[in-house]
Amino acid sequence: MGAPRNGGDLVTETLTALGARVAFGIPGQHALGLFDALRRSELEFVSARVENNAAFAADGYARRTGCVAPLLVSTGPGALLTLASLQESKASSAPVLVISAQIPRAGLGGARRGFLHELPEQSAGFANVTKSVYTARHASQIPSALAEAWRTAAAAPAGPVLVEIPQDVLLEPTALPPVADVDGSPAPLEPRAELVAEAARLLDGARRPVVLAGGGVGRAGGHGALLDLAEALQAPVATTFGAKDAFPWEHPLSLQSWLEDRHTTDYLAGADVLLVVGSGLGELSSNYHTLAPRGRVVQVEADLGKLESNVSALGVHGDAALTLAALAARVTRRPHDPAVAAEVAGVRAAVAARLDAQDLSAERDVLAAVRAALPDDAPSFWDMTMLAYWAWSAWDPRRGRMFSAQGAGGLGYGLPAALGAAAAGDGPVLAVSGDGGAMYSIAELATARQHDLDVTWLVVDDGGYGILREYMEDAFGQAAHTELARPDFAALAAAFGVPSTLTAPERLREDLAAALAAPGPHVVVLPMVLGLFAPTHTA
């Protein structure tokens, strides 16, 4: 006779009933009841090597699929190591469901019983990086707590949620029947009708309506509605760095994503009605808060706290896709206007001319080589590295999606997030890191090999923290403490059983394409120092 079902089984049964197919994490002493239950479940488990990387992997899975990603960790050090990664998930609205073990119930509430990993209040550390926290103190609470946490994580704006379960609750036998009847579907965030009507009135009355589409458009699946609305209004569309796929890159109305360029900033500011959808107009999306709209602004945002947080606007609290569809159905369709497309082409030409005036051909060629090597429908995950700063503005995502750590700006995102995404589907996934960021997640080459995940990792080795080096040289005349001793990345990959290629700029396209075409993990190392285009927010 098998072991009796316990609290850990209630966790895995509930996750399966909610629709989970993959979970990420690392086992720990207080979580053994949960990890033992995984053996009896249908869940596929991807075991990382460091908890922050497990959290990044869950983030990557959530972003690629749009589904809630379970993250299973143990108490104290294990749980706390996820915090920096969860800050990225919170900033970028990735629905990660963290399920952490806790010390036994007898030690909860600051009882100070001296249990291993004991904290006075573990959940307090998660207050700034999760939408909410739940503690299940009895087995009967587990299914409902997880269903509510799942619903909260998925509800717009999506984001991470914590459920903590004491060790003894995970281990104790339960007489509850197997979990089947749970529903984690969130209620749709419909915009208020009078706000939609007023926004449509303003857009219809605008001579030069312009749209700035943020990451909320892509997360909500608003691509089609955005295209319909833009064409109906003959409105040019710029996309933020987190919304690279929200609007077709080469469309005649596409301003693309050169948001750090003064030409784009000034054009957005000159609109008589600027429709901002799915963006809080934060530091990067506003060219470091230099965007100063001269006309009316309509801001559509699912995160209530971001409405009018940076500019005065008609604030519409609602899901981006639902609101765009409602606006597209209400506005008056305008005839095709070649003059608008000419304006857009003029802005793009001015941006290109500014770049042409700088000595940046090597950097542009490298990014073009990466784009040419990557299949059109393959997703890419970018660490905080010089090439990613280029990609934010210049990358054409085509049918794949581009994801980066620009929400919170921490290092180490690229590889583990790509591994999580690879666990979600077939086909190659690209990760891009610098040598500094690569050292944050090098241990996850073991994860890539163990699970045979189809990720090609491009490491641009410039001998240090390249972007910080450039910032310090610009600000102070010289850099300090940015240069790094680093390993032979190709040899290190081989030690993990992962094939590698040492490439050069002139061979990058060919070498990267070959790595992406081969199944399983691969590392491509490009020794090269890249420069960055000149900023315009200080001009």
CA distances from residue 8 to 34, 199, 245, 363, 396 in whole angstroms, order as listed: 4, 49, 39, 51, 44
The pairing of strands 273-277 and 209-213 is parallel
> Which alpha helices (H) appear in 234-318, and where do they start and end?
262-269
Q: How far apart are CA 466 and CA 56, in angstroms?
A: 22
Quick one: pLDDT at residue 192?
98
Question: Is residue 159 classed as helix, strand or coil in its secondary structure?
Answer: coil
For 329-367, how does the pLDDT look when each residue is reduced to its tens digit (9 = 90+)? 999 999 999 999 999 999 999 999 999 999 999 999 999
Which residues contact residue 51 at a Cβ distance below 8 angstroms, ignoring those fewer than 6 apart? Answer: 25, 26, 73, 78, 79, 81, 82
115: tokens are 């249990």
The pairing of strands 402-404 and 455-461 is unpaired
Mean local confidence (pLDDT), 154-171: 97
In the predicted structure, residue 167 carries a pLDDT above the cut 50:
yes
Mean pLDDT of the chain: 95
Of all residues in the chain, the percent with pLDDT exceeding 90 is 93
Which helix (H) or strand (E) element contains residue 96? strand 96-102
Strand blocks (E) in 201-360 = 209-213, 237-239, 254-256, 273-277, 296-301, 314-317
For 286-330, how does the pLDDT look when each residue is reduced to its tens digit (9 = 90+)? 999 999 999 999 999 999 999 999 999 999 999 999 999 999 999
Count Cα neighbours of 118 within 13 Å in the Cβ-side half-sphere. 14
In the predicted structure, residue 1 carries a pLDDT above the cut 50:
no
CB 490 within 8 A of CB 435: no
